[in-house]
Structure 1
Amino acid sequence: MTDRSFRFTHAISRRPSASITDGLRAVDVGTPDLSLFERHHADYVAALRETGAEVVLLDPLEAYPDAVFVEDTALCLPEGAIIMRPGAPSRLGEAAEMAPHLRQLYREVREISGADAYIEGGDILTTEREILVGRSARTNAAGIAELQSLVADWGYQLREVITPEGVLHFKTDCSLLDGQTVLATERLAASGCFDGYAVIHTAPGEEAAANTIRFNDLVLMPAGFPQTRDRLVQAGYAVREIGNSEAAKLDGGMSCLSLRFSPGA
């Protein structure tokens, strides 16, 4: 078993734009503060760079309020990148904006192209043994089927799972901690989708802490969830808390803010 599902040489992130105030949200809990979002984002990028990775920081895209959430635009694997087809109509252009940046780093870039296919990176969890894809309001069966065909010759097994009702993305409720361990909410873990993995549950009332990222030797998690943080620390992980209050107003978390990969590894 390798550790290529959480050790990376590169990341791509994009600074938030002033239009972020018009970003999509399931429930309106307030308008994001751009200056605070920018500070949180800078802390996030600094933490990624601290691990030794090369971080490409892209300029804001004013035409796309949700473009800061770059993870939804692509799936990045060592063999190549696959451009997604976001399920939110207002976000379709974001994938096209990301494609040329990935082509500079990868020899092979493929694309989800079916007119009826929708899939977002936030619904995809890549582990050492498989690619889990959650069916959701943003990812449909046609998108999952096309992704499966695109990764088959790279040797990946893909498994479709169901995102809980009322949860935006599959990874809203889970994240990878290492090659065999997942952090997940109890409601998602109860579905049995992580049978065969070790699971650490988020603490009661701290379900929003489930979206973390393991990036090399650091686990980056949103600040403000002390019981879940303590569970991760007690399990032996090096944890870095990052402010996420403004991204959370737009249903965003740690994984949403970057693409993480090792091209050609």
Structure 2
Amino acid sequence: MRSFTFTHAITRKPSASIVAGLRAVDTGTPSLALMTQHHADYIAALKATGATVVELEALEDFPDSVFVEDTALCLPEGAVVMRPGAPSRLGEAARMAPHLQALYKHVLHIENPESFIEGGDILTTETEILVGRSARTNATGIAELAARVALWDYKVREVFTPPGVLHFKTDCSLLDAETILSTTRLAASGCFEGYRVIPVAEGEEPCANTIRFNDAVIMPQGFPRTRDTLLAQGYKVVEIGNTECAKLDGGMSCLSLRFSPS
């Protein structure tokens, strides 16, 4: 299944400058030491599934650069380099492009200066690519992405991120070919019609951002009711500490680009 079976992942070490990273609400300064430990645990979980993990060096000039997912959309046929909606993050995508070019034959770019789109707003399933319009992703960016991936016969469907939520995938994640883990507020919009939806437990909304990576569902620690629901549904769950990235609105999907280049 191409939407959750991967041979490769790209990650980037957190930089010392991450203490100045963007955040919607200030809930405290993240600990670099603890974040670095959590990041190492995350990489170990990816490698445990048999994937090759490319570990890039920290970028001190870009405090949010540990969140590599926002820089690109990676598909089997090729990659599309994004144009992040936060001005301070535009340079991150340019720094990621050479690494994608080393792994892919085809690397396309979002080029229109009026286009803004981040990977955190993109959910790829077996049948379509859902892109949530948000404060970081606009209609022009979605339309340009749709034109790019149409070359590989992908269909893009525009959906909407709930007000006050940073990214579409802040509130959802893919569990398998037909199943989405979602907050109640996002599922209520009807955007997942045709899919089976597993709701996160009330009060555990931050764990909606998980990743299905090969045979593992990698989720943040500290959300026992949702974890137990996933275990009861037969998923293999791996829990990773995420307290420090959460202070910067980051979750499990944000920390990697996941793909199987053809």
TM-score using structure 2 length: 1.00
In the TM superposition, what are the counterparts of 1:25-64 in structure 2 within 5 Å? 25-64=23-62
The answer on 1:206 being equivalent to 2:204 is: yes
What is the match of residue 163 of structure 2? 165
Mapping of residues 149-228 of structure 1, within 5 Å: 149-228=147-226
SS at match of 1:171: helix
* 1:242 corresponding residue in structure 2: 240
Partner residue, 2:92: 94
Q: CA deviation at 1:227?
A: 0.3
Task: Tell me which amino acid in the other structure corresponds to 1:9.
Answer: T
Residues 52-90 of structure 1, C-alpha deviation per residue, up to 9 Å, x if partnerless?
000000000000000000000000000000000000000
Task: Report the 3-state secondary structure (helix = DSSP H, G, I; strand = E; otherwise coil) of the residue aligned with 1:187.
Answer: helix
Looking at structure 2, the residues matched to 241 and 115 of structure 1 have their Cα atoms a distance apart, in angstroms, of 39
The CA deviation at 1:245 is 0.1
Q: How is 1:245-264 mapped onto 2 (pairs within 5 angstroms)?
A: 245-264=243-262
Amino acid at match of 2:12: R
5+ residue gaps, structure 1: none
State yes or no: 1:113 paired with 2:117: no
Q: Under a length normalisation based on structure 1, what TM-score does the superposition of the two structures give?
A: 0.99
Letter of the 1:240 partner, please give it: V
User: How far apart are the structure 2 equivalents of 1:178 and 1:5?
Assistant: 8
- Tell me which stretches of 4 or more aligned residues in structure 1 moved more than 2 Å: none
- Aligned partner of 1:47: which letter? A
| CA-CA distance at 1:153 after TM superposition | 1.7
The aligned residue for residue 131 of structure 2 is: 133
Distance 1:230 1:187 in 2: 21
Task: Give percent identity, aligned residues only.
Answer: 72
CA distance in 1, matches of 2:220, 2:125: 21
Unaligned stretches of 5+ residues in structure 2 = none
Deviations 1:137-164 (A, max 9, x none): 0000000000000011201111000000
Cα deviations by residue, 1:15-38 (Å, 9 ceiling, x for unpaired) = 100000000000000000000000
Amino acid at match of 2:105: R
